[in-house]
Amino acid sequence: MKKSLVFWVEEYFYNPSLLQKLLSFFLLPLSWLYCFVMYLRFRSKRAEDFKIKIISVGNLTVGGSGKTPLVTAFGAAFKNPAIILRGYGRNSKGLVVVKDAKEILCDVSVSGDEAMIYAKKLPNAVVIVSEDRKPAIKKAKEMGCEIVLLDDAYSKHDIKKLDVLIDVATKNNFCLPSGPYRERLWSFKEAVVLQEDVDFTRVVTLEAQTQRMSLVTAIARPSRLNKYLPKVVGKHYFEDHHSFTKEELQAILEADNATSLLVTFKDYVKIESFGLPLSLLDLEVKVDTNVLDRLF
């Protein structure tokens, strides 16, 4: 039931049917009210200067946009960056240092899947999860980091930072609940908007390929993967940040008579310890050098 609702909402936001469009128009008064409240919230905030370069990477809409690979690409450009994020899907609360400059300090259940991606892909980075970004920024400074990269923090208007936003294509351009927009790109807000295939491009690698792979993934808007997929014998979509069990994955292997499960890195970090045959569809990005010069 939960999975069906999640995918219905994703369709409603990004590729609405006629009935969903009618519902969207019906909810417009609520969207206007929501957007006005968010604007007032933005105008009421005063940005605190933490005396360290801070860049937030995200998007204005709900759902996936490819921010994790982009943050990873930015982080790889520095010797000692800090990656700070909320840590959706983790079984922990408060501020947790997932990784210092040398080693990973917790498992994926404590960090959440996205934080563990950064911990594994960026050996020189400090990775911190915290619902409140401010103490995490202070912690990063204490740990000697040279730059802070915030994962999805456009709405944190009380932090002085540069916002990098990924332009996400959608047929529904309304604010919540009529559409997917959490906020607008407000005037007086310093931001850089990047487009895929213009400012950055996907670099896709396939590791441990087998003859009969079955796709299993728990990312937002999983249909985004279709253009990168090799031949698979099945596709199994779960809601974003889903916590897999070994038993449900074994059942998929058996039902599809698959020789391996094809997963993204976001899925891989959660299930690598299960000892199941895995193939990895790793989606990274290459950023145009002009973009890096503008930002850093």
Which domains occur in the chain, in start order? 44-200+288-295 (3.40.50), 202-286 (3.40.50)
Q: Is the dihedral of CA 184, 188, 192, 198 positive or negative?
A: positive
Q: What is the pLDDT of residues 44-63, one digit of tens each?
A: 999 999 999 999 999 999 98
Whether the Cβ atoms of residue 133 and residue 125 lie closer than 8 Å to each other: no
When pLDDT is averaged across residues 71-84 and rounded to a whole number, the result is 96
In three-state secondary structure terms, 274 is helix
In three-state secondary structure terms, 31 is helix
Whether the Cβ atoms of residue 197 and residue 244 lie closer than 8 Å to each other: no
| Single-letter residue type at 219 | I
Q: Provide the pLDDT confidence category of residue 285 given band limits of 50, 70 and 90.
A: very high
- pLDDT higher than 70, residue 218: yes
DSSP for 85-139 reads E--TT-S--S-EEEE-SS-B-S-HHHH-HHHHHHHHH-TT-EEEE-SSHHHHHHH
- pLDDT higher than 90, residue 296: no
What is the percent of the chain with per-residue pLDDT over 70, rounded to a whole number?
A: 99
When pLDDT is averaged across residues 236-252 and rounded to a whole number, the result is 95
Tokens for 217, please give them. Answer: 């993934």
